[in-house]
Amino acid sequence: MRSSHCVSLTALVLSSLIGSSASAAITVYNDQGLYQVATTSLSQGLENFNAYSGNYSSPLVGVADGVTWTATSNSGFTINNGQMSTAMPGSMNIAFSGVDVYGVYGNFFGTDANGNLAPGLVIVQLANGSGLTLYVDNPNEFFGFVSNDAPILSISATAQSFPNPNPVLRASVDNLGFSFVIPAPGAVALLGLAGLVSRRRR
């Protein structure tokens, strides 16, 4: 996978504005090699969407290497050739469950009605507000986030043409990757025991 480093000045300004409200516990990457170095101690998973083809309603739920992901949008999804896009212009949100996700990445971009790349600004954000905005003119642009604090609960993407903000494009993703920790059996057992104790106290 190749990462483009051609970022417009406007995109950099927008990126810094989003980053100013982000948690210091989140590190943002637009280079996959650096992301991989930062997550070598974690288990890795990948959803390449190759098992899907056609139109899907929202929410769409899938499992990739132990990570359950739930994608939502106002219009549902179209998935073709390993690329998931919103069925109509608008944003998508993908939430994670089943394991504790501490890193997430993907190739995020905007597409037109035919599923073709439409260059523009792509805004990718986590549930805590951390995010990155880049001008994307190829489908291999890398967006990656690593948390050194709380697990990452979800990631969202929005795309719009640039410099004219209209139309809003279809948000699209390929190669959605996860870096995660599987809870130890002992920890799961302790959580269950704590639940029993709290019920008895009531």
Note the pLDDT tens digit of each residue in 53-101.
999 999 999 999 999 999 999 999 999 999 999 999 999 999 999 999 9
Report yes or no on 96 lying in a domain. Answer: yes
Query: Could you tell me which residues come within 8 angstroms of residue 55 by beta carbon, excluding any fewer than 6 positions away?
Result: 76, 77, 78, 87
Report yes or no on 151 lying in a domain. Answer: yes
Model pTM? 0.81
Report yes or no on 146 lying in a domain. Answer: yes
Q: Can you give the residue range of the structural domain that contains 67? A: 9-201
Report yes or no on 2 lying in a domain. Answer: no
Q: What is the pLDDT of residue 184?
A: 66
Report yes or no on 4 lying in a domain. Answer: no
Q: How many domains does the chain have?
A: 1
Residue 128 has pLDDT above 60, yes or no: yes
- CATH number of the domain enclosing 105: 2.60.120.260
Confidence of residue 138 (pLDDT cuts 50, 70, 90): very high
Q: Is 186 in a helix, a strand, or coil?
A: helix
Residue 40 has pLDDT above 60, yes or no: yes
Burial 22-34 (b: 16+ CB within 10 A, else e): beeebbbbbebee
Residue 197 has pLDDT above 60, yes or no: no
Q: Which of 172, 180, 179 is nearest to 94 (CA)?
A: 172
Report yes or no on 143 lying in a domain. Answer: yes
The stretch 100-128 carries a mean pLDDT of 96
